């Protein structure tokens, strides 16, 4: 009697979790490995970063989500190496063997060769990123309230977001809502709506992956809420008190104390390990170039999905690192495993692009769904609904719905706490 087929899944994000859930009734034993004990709904991280939601509302403990799958175990561990010849994954403090390995380790921030910018301009990939950004944003208003010098006060009230993709646009919109409405009555010396929000984008338009028409609608919505959008602009320097931006020939230094990074991601370092141990090729941002069935060339038992994978077999350009791609690839590789175990053949992965959306502010969003582009209130409602439905746990949906209803009715963003080590001194 052959031993049961062991599937090890590295990563409990969209790719790994959807793969695990799709294998629920398969004749396999699954182990999901993650460095964190929860699945994170990344599309709503910007809401935690701007005090609209609490971390607990967008994160679901992996054990809780998977505990009814009797064939699935969860391990909290950090992967430091692979041994494909021995079908083994190596942890910092142990190891595990597999018959099929699904690597869904995701992505991290990319500072384009300027790693020194990381502490100055935090990105938005983890819960801790989000609460740190929240801390800096709220801190800036507190510092402005106590600052006597007008120039230094203006710098505290200037916020620069680098990157006008969906993350940057959504951050800018939420930040504008905070400044203009949520905090409106909270201060006595400053007027929070004096805050300047500057959104910097290297490409010619905001939301570069979207159509020009949607980019234009988004730009108009941003302008309406007072966000200064600067396209064709590249950041050349970041200091604790300024950002230098180059547009064409001109260079400009913006005095600011709060800079947020939404400009680029690179693959998890596991990509390097995979390349080193299997000979797989990586792209410029470290993603593993995979076959049509998401496998590593020469290793049909190693599947790479989600933000870590470079899948180029559909339309010539690689699939973007977005949640729906990871979800569909997760389901696909689960299906592939089941078919192979049943002795059946497996077709190539085919991504069904059901559309994309970005929200700019209340009742202002852009969306392309089922091939139709639209914006405004309808897009905004679609955005709310779809994000709500994709939250993994039912209680999260209820809590987020309550929070959003409250935020909407009261302009209040209840989750705006400054937490963490040493919130003082003011001269950070």
Q: Specify the residue, 42 or 295, whose C-beta has the smaller distance to a copy of itself.
A: 42
Distances (CA, A) of 336 to 18, 291, 307: 13, 13, 19
Per annotation, catalytic residue among 132, 170, 177, 291: 170
Is residue 54 a contact residue for a copy of itself (CB under 8 A)? yes
Q: Which of 59, 133, 172, 243 binds a copy of itself (CB under 8 A)?
A: 59
Is 146 a binder of a copy of itself (CB under 8 A)?
yes
Strand partners, 91: 79, 94
Contact status: 393 vs a copy of itself (CB under 8 A)? yes
- Asked whether position 426 contacts a copy of itself by CB under 8 A, the answer is yes
Q: Dig out the tokens for 177 from the structure.
A: 């809502």
**Stretch 98-137 residues interacting with a copy of itself (CB under 8 A):** 127-128, 131
Contact string (CB under 8 A) for a copy of itself, positions 1-40, x = contact: ----------------------------------xxxx--
Two tokens, residue 372 = 């139709």
Candidates 109-117, 150-158, 230-238, 395-403: pick the segment binding a copy of itself (CB under 8 A): 395-403
> If binding is defined by CB under 8 A, does position 343 make contact with a copy of itself?
no
Whether 170 is catalytic is yes
Residue located via tokens 């799958």: 69
Which residue of 4, 204, 378, 417 would you call a contact of a copy of itself, by CB under 8 A? 417
For residue 180, give the 3-state DSSP assignment: helix
- Which three-class secondary structure state does DSSP give residue 237? strand
Q: Counting contacts by CB under 8 A, is residue 186 touching a copy of itself?
A: yes
Chosen residue from 25, 68, 344, 352 binding a copy of itself by CB under 8 A: 68
Pick the stretch among 193-201, 259-267, 299-307, 407-415 that binds a copy of itself (CB under 8 A). 407-415
Report the C-alpha gap between 262 and 63 in whole angstroms: 30
Sheet of 79-83: strand order equals 79-83, 88-91, 94-97
Q: Choose among 262, 222, 223, 266: nearest CA to 105.
A: 266
127 closest CA partner among 39, 32, 10: 39
Report how far residue 22's alpha carbon sits from residue 133's, in angstroms, rounded to the nearest whole number. Answer: 35
Binding segment toward a copy of itself, per CB under 8 A, in 9-17, 212-220, 289-297, 414-422: 414-422
Q: How far is the CB of 404 from a copy of itself (least distance, A)?
A: 11
**C-alpha to C-alpha distance for 282 and 273, rounded to whole angstroms:** 11
The CA-atom distances, in angstroms, between 71 and each of 205, 316, 396 are 48, 38, 25
Query: Hey, what are 1's tokens?
Result: 């009697």
Three-state secondary structure call for residue 371: coil
* Residue in 4, 67, 237, 239 binding a copy of itself, rule: CB under 8 A: 67
For strand 299-304 and strand 309-310, is the pairing parallel, antiparallel, or unpaired?
unpaired
Among 20, 32, 49, 77, the residue binding a copy of itself under the rule CB under 8 A is: 77
For a copy of itself, the binding residue among 20, 49, 57, 163 (CB under 8 A) is 57
Identify the residue whose tokens are 């502490």: 119
Catalytic site residues?
Answer: 170
Residue ranges in contact with a copy of itself by CB under 8 A: 35-38, 54-57, 59-61, 63-64, 67-68, 73-78, 92-94, 127-128, 131, 138, 142, 145-146, 183, 185-189, 393, 395-396, 398-399, 402-403, 406, 410, 412, 414-421, 423-427
């Amino acid at each position: 009697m052959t031993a049961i087929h062991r599937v090890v899944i590295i990563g409990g994000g969209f790719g790994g979790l959807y793969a695990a859930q799709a294998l629920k009734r398969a004749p396999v034993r699954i182990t999901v490995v993650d460095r964190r004990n929860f699945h994170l709904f990344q599309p709503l991280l910007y809401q935690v970063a701007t005090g609209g939601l609490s971390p607990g509302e967008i994160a679901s403990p992996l054990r809780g989500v998977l505990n009814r799958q009797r064939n699935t175990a969860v391990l909290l561990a950090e992967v430091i190496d692979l041994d494909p010849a021995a079908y083994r994954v190596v942890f910092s403090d142990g190891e595990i063997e597999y018959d099929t390995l699904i690597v869904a380790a995701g992505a991290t921030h990319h500072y384009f060769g300027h790693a020194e910018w990381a502490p100055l301009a935090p990105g938005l990939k983890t819960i801790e990123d989000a609460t740190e950004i929240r801390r800096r944003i709220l801190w800036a208003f507190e510092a402005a309230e106590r600052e006597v010098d007008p120039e230094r006060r203006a710098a505290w009230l200037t916020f620069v977001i680098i990157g006008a993709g969906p993350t940057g646009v959504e951050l800018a919109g939420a930040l504008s809502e905070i400044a203009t409405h949520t905090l409106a009555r909270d201060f006595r010396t400053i007027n929070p709506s004096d805050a300047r929000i500057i959104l910097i984008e290297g490409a010619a338009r905001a939301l570069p992956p979207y159509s020009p028409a949607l980019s234009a609608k988004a730009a108009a919505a941003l302008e309406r809420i007072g966000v200064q959008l600067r396209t064709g602009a590249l950041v050349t320097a970041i200091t604790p008190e300024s950002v230098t931006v180059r547009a064409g020939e001109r260079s400009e230094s913006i005095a600011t104390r709060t800079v947020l990074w939404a400009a680029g991601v690179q693959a998890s370092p596991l990509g390097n390990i995979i390349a080193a141990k299997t000979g797989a090729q990586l792209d410029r941002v470290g993603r593993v170039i995979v076959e049509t069935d998401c496998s590593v060339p020469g290793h049909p038992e190693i599947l790479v999905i989600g933000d870590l994978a470079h899948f180029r077999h559909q339309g010539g350009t690689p699939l973007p690192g977005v949640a729906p791609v990871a979800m569909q690839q997760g389901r696909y590789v689960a299906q592939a495993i089941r078919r192979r175990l049943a002795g059946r053949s497996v077709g190539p992965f085919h991504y069904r692009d059901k559309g994309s959306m970005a929200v700019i502010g209340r009742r202002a969003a852009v969306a392309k769904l089922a091939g139709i582009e639209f914006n405004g209130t309808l897009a905004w409602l679609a955005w709310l609904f779809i994000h709500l439905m994709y939250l993994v746990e039912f209680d999260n949906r209820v809590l987020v719905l309550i929070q959003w209803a409250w935020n909407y009715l009261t302009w209040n963003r209840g989750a705006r706490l400054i937490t963490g080590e040493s919130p003082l001194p003011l001269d950070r």
